[in-house]
């Protein structure tokens, strides 16, 4: 195991299976050096067990480094040490500047996302690029949104620009909102998201290959449903060559994040505010898993109650059905809570909910990206971890 100082950052180099392990992560526990990524990485107890396997000298070196400076773990299956050194040397420059955000598809969700990013993104977004196959839709939103302004502060909000398709990946953040086959209001399907999977899988795979061809190094943000399986589809398509071989020449796992869990967390909070029975969620609760039927809401990490957690989970799952029952498409809260707010928090390096790669599966949990991606690790109660494992297994089974 080799390590090096790259600027102010200590970097440990490992080589791990690229279809199961991310390229670059923030190293926060010594146990991360001892074993490849598994779902147990969400459980802080596992790191303590794993760290015992390390040589005492290495363990002490890592512990001291974590106390003093940012520490990264770089997987040389994705880039060589020299390539990682060049990439890591430029991270601070990338993080300091405002981002160019490009958004694909301006349907109900996409148009709501771009409105929210326009209004909320003045601190973090340089420009908002939009692309839709319907040119009139692009023109409409360019006109309308560039007429949104504070009086005498005409440059306070990011400018909206119309893109050509070839420009989609000339950015820092690409937001995928394209969708086909959205079930109509009144559908009998309980989880309408999976109805969309096959059609949307084909679309996202096409754009993931475009990202590969452009050598895109930014964030590929997936908003369309079903978020978690579509992230995996994008990852595999981007890294598969014309011979059908996985070659690690596309998007790295951590470059792709799915934005669906934020609204499920917000829906749980909505019900927790309405019923004091669930109020501990507002200060101690967490959300895990997919944006769908296998969602896991925990009423509290410190005082976990399995029955109350499952009740609150079901309320969050069914929240969109309440809107559909009234004859409306439930897209506003997802577009703002899951997508716009969470994407901005990602750019800002703040804790948020999104779907990330872990042991070959994309699944939602609390995380942040400052120098590199960091998943929140907690002391998870056994009953809660069993629910998370079930959600993970369900996502892993989706082809």
**DSSP secondary structure string for all residues of 357-370:** EETTEEEEEEEEES
Q: Which residue has the higher pLDDT, 180 or 24?
A: 24
- pLDDT confidence tier of residue 179, bands split at 50, 70 and 90: very high
Question: Which residues in 255-268 are b (16+ Cβ under 10 Å) and which e?
Answer: bbbbbbbbbbbbbb
> In whole angstroms, how far apart are CA 222 and each of 39, 49, 53, 83?
21, 34, 37, 27
Which of 39-53, 190-204, 247-261, 272-286 has the lowest average pLDDT? 190-204
pLDDT for the residue 198:
86
Residue 185 predicted with pLDDT over 80: no
Over residues 41-69, the mean pLDDT reads 90
Q: Give the span between the Cα atoms of 320 and 388, in whole angstroms.
A: 22
Residue 184 predicted with pLDDT over 80: no
Q: Which residue has the higher pLDDT, 55 or 390?
A: 390
Residue 214 predicted with pLDDT over 80: yes
Q: Give the span between the Cα atoms of 76 and 340, in whole angstroms.
A: 33
Beta carbons of 43 and 87 less than 8 angstroms apart = no
pLDDT for the residue 193:
60
Residue 55 predicted with pLDDT over 70: yes
Residue 366 predicted with pLDDT over 50: yes
Displacement of CA 97 from its chain's centroid (Å): 21
What is the token pair recorded at 37?
């990524």
- pLDDT confidence tier of residue 320, bands split at 50, 70 and 90: very high
Over residues 47-76, the mean pLDDT reads 91
Over residues 255-277, the mean pLDDT reads 98
- pLDDT confidence tier of residue 191, bands split at 50, 70 and 90: low
- pLDDT confidence tier of residue 187, bands split at 50, 70 and 90: low
Over residues 341-362, the mean pLDDT reads 98
Closest listed residue to residue 398, CA positions, set 289, 298, 287: 289
pLDDT for the residue 188:
47
pLDDT for the residue 254:
98
Q: Quote helix, strand, coil % in the chain, to nearest 5.
A: 45, 20, 35
- pLDDT > 90: percent of the chain: 88
Q: Give the span between the Cα atoms of 106 and 297, in whole angstroms.
A: 31
Residue 249 predicted with pLDDT over 70: yes
- pLDDT > 70: percent of the chain: 96
What is the token pair recorded at 221?
């943000």
pLDDT for the residue 292:
85
Average pLDDT along the chain: 95
pLDDT for the residue 192:
59
* DSSP class of 12: E
Residue 231 predicted with pLDDT over 50: yes
pLDDT for the residue 287:
98
pTM (2 d.p.): 0.96
């Amino acid at each position: 195991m080799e390590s090096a100082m790259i600027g102010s950052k200590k970097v440990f180099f490992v080589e791990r299976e690229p279809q199961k392990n991310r390229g670059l992560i923030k190293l926060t526990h010594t146990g991360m050096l001892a074993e490849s990524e598994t779902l147990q990485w969400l459980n802080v107890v596992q790191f303590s067990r794993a760290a015992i396997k390390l040589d005492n000298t290495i363990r002490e070196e890592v512990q001291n480094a974590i106390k003093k400076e940012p520490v990264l773990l770089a997987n040389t299956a994705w880039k060589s040490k020299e390539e990682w050194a060049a990439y890591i040397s430029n991270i601070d420059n990338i993080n300091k500047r405002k981002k160019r955000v490009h958004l694909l598809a301006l349907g109900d969700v996409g148009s709501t996302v771009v409105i929210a990013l326009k209004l909320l993104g003045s601190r973090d977004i340089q420009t908002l690029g939009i692309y839709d196959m319907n040119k009139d839709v692009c023109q409409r939103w360019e006109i309308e949104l560039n007429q949104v302004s504070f009086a005498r502060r005409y440059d306070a909000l990011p400018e909206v620009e119309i893109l050509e398709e070839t420009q989609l990946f000339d950015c820092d953040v690409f937001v995928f909102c394209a969708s086909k086959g959205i079930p109509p209001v009144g559908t009998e399907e309980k989880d309408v998201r999976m109805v969309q999977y096959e059609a949307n899988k084909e679309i996202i795979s096409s754009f993931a290959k475009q990202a590969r061809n452009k050598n895109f190094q930014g964030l590929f943000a997936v908003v369309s449903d079903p978020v978690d399986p579509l992230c995996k589809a994008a990852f595999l398509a981007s890294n598969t060559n014309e011979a059908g071989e996985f070659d690690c020449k596309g998007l790295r796992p951590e470059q792709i994040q799915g934005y669906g869990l934020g609204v499920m967390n917000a829906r749980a909070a909505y019900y927790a505010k309405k019923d004091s029975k669930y109020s501990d969620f507002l200060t101690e609760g967490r959300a895990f898993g997919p944006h769908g039927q296998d969602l896991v809401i925990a009423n509290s990490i410190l005082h976990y109650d399995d029955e109350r957690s499952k009740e609150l989970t079901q309320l969050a799952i069914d929240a969109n059905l309440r809107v559909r029952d009234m004859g409306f498409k439930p897209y506003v809260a997802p577009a703002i809570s899951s997508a716009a707010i969470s994407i901005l928090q990602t750019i800002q390096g703040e804790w948020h909910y999104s779907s990330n790669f872990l042991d070959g599966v994309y699944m939602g949990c609390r995380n942040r990206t400052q120098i590199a991606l960091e998943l929140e690790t907690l002391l998870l109660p056994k009953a809660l971890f069993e629910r998370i494992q079930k959600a993970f297994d369900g996502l892993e089974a989706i082809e």
